[in-house]
A = this chain, B = another copy of it.
C-alpha cells in the first residue's frame, strides 16, 4: 500500500500542502555510512525551486532543506532521514476568489468529490510544491548510487519539446542543459524557446512539454519481473508527477511503427564487452536493465491555472467561469526535469538494493 510513500527498500514519504506551514519528506531504508549534508541536497533543490527566472512561477521560496534525523556526524545511520522545508511565500488570499470553483483540467474537482473536503489554498496537497520532497529524496538516492556504483553513474534530464517547438535530440549537450533556463539540451533552440514562452505567458496561456531522462552506467540486472519491472516502476514513478500524461521507454509509442528487424537492438561482443547497435529498448529488456543507457521520456500537459477565462462549475454544481490570477508556471514541464531525475534516481537505487537482496 502506498498513498504517500514511494519505493520498496529505499522508500520515501512526502507530506504537506502548498500553503501549510511546511512540507517534508521522510527517507527510509537508506544504506548507512553514506556522507550526507544539507548542502548536497540543495544542489538539486535549487534546480527545481521556483522564482529563479521569468519562465517559472514568481513564488519566492528558498526551499532550504533541514535534516532532522538519520544523519550522525555527517553520515547516514540507516535510520529514517526526516527533512523539512518551510513554506515562506504562501499567498493564500490569491485563492479566495476561486475557492469554491473547480479549475478545469485541475484536480480541484476530483479531490473534492473523493474526500468531501480540500485545502483550496494554492491547490493544497495537489500542488506541484509536493515535488520538492521528491527532489530531496532523489538527491540522496543519487549520492548513494554514486557511492555504490561509482562516480561515472549519472542521471541527466532535459526538455526536448516545449509546446510546439522541438529541438535536436542529437545535439544533446549536458553543459548546455545546465546553462539555459529551460534545461534545453540544444543550444540552437534556446533563443526561439525564450520568445515563444514569453509570448505564451503574455497571452495568459500555457504550454506543455516533453522531458527526456538518461541514466548511464546502470549495471545490468536491475528490475524485478514480473510486476516490479524496472520500466513499469519508472512508468509509475513518472506518471505520478503532477500533470504527466505519457511515458515512453526507449522508442516508446513509436515502437509501434518499427519492424522486428529495426526494433531488435543487435548485439556484438567487442573485446569481451557486450555492445548494442542501437537502443530502441531504452536500456531495458524484459523489465531488467541491459547495461545500455536507460532512456525514458514523459509528457507534461500545459498548466491548468491560466489567466484566460474558462467555463466550469462551482462546489454547488452551478455553472460559472474561472480565470486564475495567482503565480503560475507558463510551462510546468520545465521544472519537471529535476523531479523526473529524482524519481528515476530513486527507482534505480531501489532496484539496485532489491537486486542485491535476491541475487547478490
Contact = CB atoms under 8 A, between A and B. Distances in A.
Nearest to A249: B245
A134 to B, nearest CB: 9
Contact of A310 (B21, B113, B261, B281): B261
Given A1-B1, A255-B300, A306-B261, A360 B356 contact: yes
Given A267-B312, A300-B255, A5 B13 contact: yes
Contacts of A200: 259
Given A14-B226, A77-B119, A261-B205, A253 B210 contact: yes
Interface stretch (A54-62, A172-180, A182-190, A231-239): A231-239
A14 to B, nearest CB: 7
A135 interface: no
Contacts of A76: 117
B251 A301 contact: yes
Contact of A68 (B16, B255, B284, B291): B16
A221 B113 contact: yes
A274 to B, nearest CB: 6
In this complex, the member of A210, A240, A282 whose beta carbon has the largest number of chain B beta carbons within 10 angstroms is A240
Task: Specify how many copies of this chain sit in the oligomer.
Answer: 4
Interface in A213-243: 220-221, 223-229, 231-240, 242
B235 A302 contact: no
Given A29-B1, A301-B258, A353-B357, A104 B264 contact: yes
Interface string A249-269: 111111111111111111111
Contacts of A262: 302
Contacts of A181: none
In this complex, the member of A103, A210, A247 whose beta carbon has the largest number of chain B beta carbons within 10 angstroms is A247
A209 to B, nearest CB: 5
In this complex, the member of A3, A102, A229, A303 whose beta carbon has the largest number of chain B beta carbons within 10 angstroms is A3
The 5 closest A-B pairs by CB, nearest first: A107-B286, A206-B260, A105-B264, A110-B288, A236-B236
Given A229-B239, A266-B310, 4 more contacts: A20-B68, A102-B267, A103-B264, A106-B264
30 contacts: A1-B354, A2-B8, A3-B228, A4-B79, A9-B354, A9-B358, A14-B80, A16-B68, A23-B69, A32-B116, A78-B114, A104-B266, A105-B260, A105-B264, A114-B223, A116-B359, A125-B226, A126-B286, A161-B256, A205-B259, A232-B237, A246-B255, A255-B300, A256-B300, A256-B333, A260-B303, A262-B302, A267-B313, A268-B319, A356-B356
